[in-house]
């Protein structure tokens, strides 16, 4: 993916869902269009950052080979 920043706008209800029997935590579902554009695959390690004004920044962690 290029270094160009892309933005999507979703409602919190579209991203977060309650976990039954776990009122202190929620699941965060990354929409398919974001996963596809960013090249995220199941099992990838992601870094989640909370930006200002309610933004969420998601970055794929790339391990450097020695």
- The tens digit of pLDDT for each residue in 23-34 reads 999 999 999 998
Q: What is the pLDDT of residue 36?
A: 92
For CA atoms 62, 60, 17, 42, the dihedral sign is negative
Answer yes or no: is 7 within a domain: no
pLDDT tens-digit series, residues 9-54: 888 899 999 999 999 999 999 999 989 988 999 999 999 998 888 7
Answer yes or no: is 65 within a domain: no
Answer yes or no: is 55 within a domain: yes
Cα separation, 58 vs 64, in Å, equals 19
The residue segments making up the domain with residue 53 are 12-60
Phi, then psi, of 32 in degrees rounded to 5: -55, -40
Give pTM, 2 decimals: 0.65
Answer yes or no: is 18 within a domain: yes
Strands 46-50 and 22-28: unpaired
């Amino acid at each position: 993916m290029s270094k160009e920043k892309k933005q999507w706008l979703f409602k919190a209800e579209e991203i977060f869902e309650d976990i039954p029997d776990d009122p202190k935590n929620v699941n965060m579902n990354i929409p398919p269009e974001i996963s596809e554009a960013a090249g995220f695959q199941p099992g990838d390690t992601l870094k989640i950052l909370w930006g200002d004004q309610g933004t969420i920044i998601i970055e794929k962690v790339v391990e450097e080979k020695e």
